[in-house]
């Protein structure tokens, strides 16, 4: 187990052949729950993305089994605006998931390339598809828990996809404990991206409103280039979100873009 964890942490998965099929070419980055690799599917001769759980999470008893179970559940989420999970496997005792490779980059890159902000016209090009994908996820009993610009992806034709369900939580598991048959993601406290997490995240109050808040902050960031609240810790976010001063700083000019979708993800 130690050797496997070291292999993940030092990036030595590069060059590995997973399941006799997926050749790891390079490490793309690391998120809240997983390392992300670019790979080639030798069977179909196309690029894919491989996600491997973070090394520290693998130390938790039952994590591997819950990861595989939850990714298997998420693979059933078939929607035009959700990045597909193609396969699930295990390499040297470590589970991994295979996803579509989307060559158009992410929303964070789009915002940066536009000079740091987008116009309302640009926002409504990608916002409705994301709302539809998120509404579908919620209708299937799942919350994403990490909606942010880095997880809004585009293919080479500009089609929009919601991605990175690495810390998604199946709502029917919320009452279970972190060990055994409990939820995958309640291990080691808060997970996610604090700038996009709602105040109730610190108390693990997980409902669709969690994702709706994160999407609203994503829209605010796209329009303004900043966050409505800028916490250094989740505790500070809770205090700031409940203060009159923080609410007063939110620019109401961000509202028209969100109201155009008609999606449940932006209904009060």
**Residues involved in catalysis:** 146
Q: What angle do CA 42, 5, 71 make, to 5 degrees?
A: 55
Question: Do the strands 142-143 and 94-100 form a parallel or antiparallel pair, or are they unpaired?
Answer: unpaired
The whole-angstrom separation of Cα 209 and Cα 194 is 15
Question: By C-alpha distance, which of 146, 134, 102 is closest to 267?
Answer: 134
Task: Report how far residue 13's alpha carbon sits from residue 27's, in angstroms, rounded to the nearest whole number.
Answer: 8
The SS3 of residue 26 is strand
Sequence length of the chain is: 268
SS3 215: helix
- Give the Cα separation of 32 and 86 in Å (integer): 21
> What is the rounded distance in angstroms from the CA atom of residue 152 to the CA atom of residue 262?
19
CB contact set of 54 (below 8 Å; sequence gap of 6+):
8, 30, 33, 34, 35
- Strand, coil or helix: 32: coil
Token pair, residue 196, equals 């996009």
| Joined tokens for residue 48 | 């894919």
Helices (H), 140-196: none
């Amino acid at each position: 187990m130690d050797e496997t964890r070291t292999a993940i942490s030092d990036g030595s998965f590069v060059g590995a052949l997973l399941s006799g099929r997926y050749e790891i070419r390079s490490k793309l980055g690391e998120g809240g729950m997983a390392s992300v690799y670019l790979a080639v599917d030798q069977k179909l001769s196309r690029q894919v993305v491989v996600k491997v759980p973070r090394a520290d999470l693998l130390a938790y008893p039952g994590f591997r089994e819950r990861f595989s179970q939850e990714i298997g559940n998420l693979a059933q989420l078939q929607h035009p605006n959700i990045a597909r999970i193609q396969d699930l496997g295990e390499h040297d005792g470590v589970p991994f998931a295979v996803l579509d490779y989307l060559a158009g980059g992410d929303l964070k890159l789009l915002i940066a390339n536009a000079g740091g902000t987008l116009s309302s016209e640009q926002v409504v090009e990608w916002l409705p598809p994301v709302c539809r994908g998120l509404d579908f996820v919620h209708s299937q009993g799942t919350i994403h828990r990490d909606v942010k610009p880095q997880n809004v992806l585009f293919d080479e034709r500009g089609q929009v996809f919601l991605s990175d369900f690495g810390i998604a939580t199946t709502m029917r598991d919320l009452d279970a404990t972190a060990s055994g048959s409990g939820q995958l993601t309640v291990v080691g406290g808060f997970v996610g991206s604090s700038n996009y997490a709602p105040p109730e995240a610190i108390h693990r109050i997980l409902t669709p409103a969690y994702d709706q808040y994160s999407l609203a902050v994503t829209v605010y960031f796209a329009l303004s280039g900043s966050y409505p609240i800028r916490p250094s810790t989740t505790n500070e976010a809770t205090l700031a979100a409940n203060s009159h001063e923080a609410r007063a700083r939110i620019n109401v000019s961000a509202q028209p873009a969100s109201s155009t979708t008609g999606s449940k993800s932006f209904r009060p």
